[in-house]
Homo-oligomer: A and B are copies of this chain.
Amino acid sequence: MTVSKAAAVDATKASRAARKEPAEVDADGAALQLGELSELLGYSLKRAQLRVFEDFLCCVAPLQLTPAQFSVLLLLDRNPGRNQTEIANTLGILRPNFVAMLDGLESRDLCARMRSTNDRRSHIVVLTDKGRAVLARAKKLVAAKHEARLNELLGPANRAALLAMLARIASEF
């Protein structure tokens, strides 16, 4: 669910090898046959996901946000007053792993932990003003550069159909 910060710094360099496409020729000039691999949904799913995350990283590079960090900011903005466990669970991040992730965002003053008055064990996670500003800029970059290109590649109808099928797989498969 997350992406390396090193990759965020230099997405193109970080996955140069993975970018080599199946059909690309090798040293001797003969590309290998993918065979049944190209009919395996999981295989194409994985390669498409890597490519999309790579492009996301590229598009949001000025803001230094990974897909995972962006998803946290989005969720905080939409769900104020929630604690770490609730945010982490919703994103499929394990609570122990969410600690360092929040530390990173908090150290950049994008969000803050606040002790809940109801339950002093809980940390309510809030977006800071800077966090809201960065999120707003990130949304614009994602919409204008990232999602726009996907829309262009697939067409709006196909893009919607793709999204619906992916959501269906994630929730019903």
Contacts and interface: CB of A to CB of B under 8 A. Distances in A.
Contact of A49 (B42, B86, B90, B154): B42
Contacts of A35: 74-75, 77-79
A34 B94 contact: no
A48 B51 contact: no
Given A20-B92, A92-B17, A154 B165 contact: yes
A55 B167 contact: no
Given A32-B86, A170-B51, A163 B41 contact: yes
A75 B26 CA distance: 15
A20 B147 contact: no
Contacts of A52: 41-42, 45, 169, 173
Interface of A: 1, 17-23, 26-27, 31-53, 55-56, 67, 71, 74-75, 77-79, 82, 85-87, 89-90, 92-94, 139, 142, 146-147, 149-150, 153-154, 158-159, 161-163, 165-173
Given A26-B90, A158-B165, 16 more contacts: A18-B92, A22-B90, A34-B78, A35-B75, A35-B77, A37-B75, A38-B167, A42-B49, A44-B163, A47-B92, A48-B166, A51-B169, A52-B169, A153-B169, A154-B169, A162-B162
